[in-house]
Chains A and B, each alone.
Chain A
Amino acid sequence: MMRRILAWTLCGSLLSPLILLVVLSLARHWTWPRLLPAELQARQWQDLIADASTLGPIVLRSLGIGTGVAILATALGFFSSRSVARHPRQGPLLALLHLPFAVSPVVLGVSLLYLFLRLHLAGHLAGVMLAHLIFAYAYAVILLSGFWTPKMRALEEMAVSLGAQRWQLWLEVLMPLARPLLLVCLFQAFMISWFDYALTLLIGDGQISTLTVALYQYFSSGDIRLAATCALLLLAPPLLALLMNQRLLSATVVTALEAHGG
């Protein structure tokens, strides 16, 4: 019984913000002290759809930036993580990679803006992607460095001894073995970019708007219900990917356990 109560409490606490967003996106005249809105309507959704000509390109741009950053961060991170994991100074290198997460994104964003203005990258899509990539790449290297266990090294040597060339080693052995972890990394790197606000706002210099930035603009304009509707739109791709990745996440845990179990 206790276990069931705990499970429901956990589910409730995780789902309640989502439920609140759904109710907000459909609410009309939800005034204090009412627990539930007096009336439901689809106006916010209709407004968003009506604004498709503005929001559509923003959604597509956000998807493009997120996908590009995820692919680049995962690919570069996979190759780099091998060197980092096998470097004699692996500890300090990993600590250095944690640095972007230890510094406030606003502080990092201001520093980057200073640099990117001189490189003519501020206000450009490439600049925003590069800024996202700094975080996503560091995350990818940290996540993927756990893949390079001594057993993985022994498997590499086995493949090489059997005649594998460098590209065959990556294609036939390392990438298939890392596949679950790579997919998780792609997903997480996408999320880093997709939900970023401060860096996009600063480096984008008002020229590059993403869905997260648009959400804050709706919120600032005081239209909480439209903001909630936009937030649901923002949550849709990650939730979809998460549902698709459920099996994958458990497979990753098994793979990691096997690798560490030798």
Chain B
Amino acid sequence: MADSPAPLLRVENIHVRLGGELILREVSFDLAPHTTLSVIGASGCGKTTLLRAIAGLIDAERGRVLLGNENVESLAPNRRGMVYLNQEPLLFPHLNLFDNVAFGLRLRRFDDSAIRERVRELLSQLELEGLELRRPDELSGGQRQRVAFGRALAVDPALLLLDEPFSNLDADTRKSMQEVFKRLAHERGTAAVFVTHDLKEAMRVGDRFALIRAGRVYTYRDRDEFCADPASGVDREAAFWRDFSKTGSGEPG
């Protein structure tokens, strides 16, 4: 990714310590505009910490985060122009679907007609029309995640930070959400850092790839380089399915 001439996001030598333990060390990478970076790693390797440090929800011990040319390290999370999406949809339970999507726009004092127009457009793209007045507890898991995604997109963030957003969904809904994410991120030109522990998900949604191991982030020039690295697990996954198709059993990677 160092070949990108004008990165949207630049993470420089970030160190993050939590409870005395160094979770991330010397993390540096760039992200080009309109690109999704898939970050893969095992549970507990620091994926969430990476996103939260970029979002400003936790403080980095040292290092810099630049968005465009601006150093956002000293900015509060609400002024960084990024939206962090959790594993849970975290819809506001006191608001209906429409008001949840409109939440960020109302904070920014958009006028009512602009809010209506933008929310309706998003609800149409997310296939949520007709559900505007439903409360979060009246929606399915997939619908809630769509609303959370729409709520994030509504404010046109410079960068989306997605923390395994589809991990709590069933396989079919998950796949459909991955497609929705890809389509909307592409249509709207939104850049994203998408962390997951699921290799297939990472391969589906990502344009670029990174791997977190022992607190360090390893980035790859392209998909081929990522697939060729034994540490990515792509070989093991492929070997599993190869063995499985031959013998009906295999050792998953």
Contact = CB atoms under 8 A, between A and B. Distances in A.
Interface string B98-123: 00000110111000000000000000
Interface in B67-123: 76-79, 82-84, 86, 88, 90, 92-94, 103-104, 106-108
Nearest to B87: A154
A126 B84 CA distance: 47
B205 interface: no
A177 interface: yes
14 contacts: A151-B90, A155-B90, A157-B57, A157-B84, A158-B84, A160-B57, A161-B57, A161-B82, A162-B78, A162-B103, A163-B78, A163-B104, A168-B107, A258-B93
B39 interface: no
Interface footprint category on A: 20 to 34
B210 interface: no
Nearest to A259: B93
B78 A160 contact: yes
B155 interface: yes
A179 B104 CA distance: 21
Given A157-B57, A168-B107, A172-B107, A162 B83 contact: yes
A173 B99 CA distance: 12
Of B78, B83, B108, the most chain A CB neighbours within 10 A belong to B78
B152 interface: yes
Contacts of A157: 57, 77, 84, 86
Given A155-B90, A159-B92, A161-B84, 18 more contacts: A151-B90, A155-B92, A157-B86, A158-B90, A158-B92, A161-B55, A161-B57, A161-B78, A162-B103, A162-B104, A162-B151, A162-B155, A163-B107, A164-B78, A168-B107, A177-B93, A177-B94, A258-B137
A244 B93 CA distance: 24
Nearest to B82: A161
A92 interface: no
Contacts of A90: none
B77 A160 contact: yes
Contacts of A162: 78, 83, 103-104, 107, 151-152, 155
A160 to B, nearest CB: 5
A154 B48 CA distance: 13
Contacts of B104: 162-163
Interface footprint category on B: 20 to 34
Interface of B: 55, 57, 76-79, 82-84, 86, 88, 90, 92-94, 103-104, 106-108, 137, 151-152, 155
Contacts of B82: 161
A161 B94 contact: no
Q: Which 5 residue pairs across A and B have the least CB separation, nearest first? A: A162-B104, A161-B84, A158-B90, A176-B94, A160-B78
Contacts of A154: 86, 88, 90
B108 A163 contact: yes
A66 B103 CA distance: 37
Contacts of A158: 84, 86, 90, 92
Contacts of A161: 55, 57, 77-78, 82-84
A165 interface: yes
Contacts of A258: 93, 137
Contacts of A151: 88, 90
Nearest to A255: B93
B94 A164 contact: no
A154 B57 CA distance: 11
Contacts of B83: 161-162
Contacts of B78: 160-165
A173 B103 CA distance: 10
Contacts of B152: 162
Of A151, A158, A159, the most chain B CB neighbours within 10 A belong to A158
A151 B185 CA distance: 28
A159 B137 CA distance: 19
Nearest to A178: B94
B65 to A, nearest CB: 14
B144 to A, nearest CB: 13
A151 to B, nearest CB: 8
A65 B178 CA distance: 58
Contacts of B103: 159, 162, 172
Nearest to B86: A154
A149 to B, nearest CB: 12
Of B55, B79, B93, B152, the most chain A CB neighbours within 10 A belong to B93
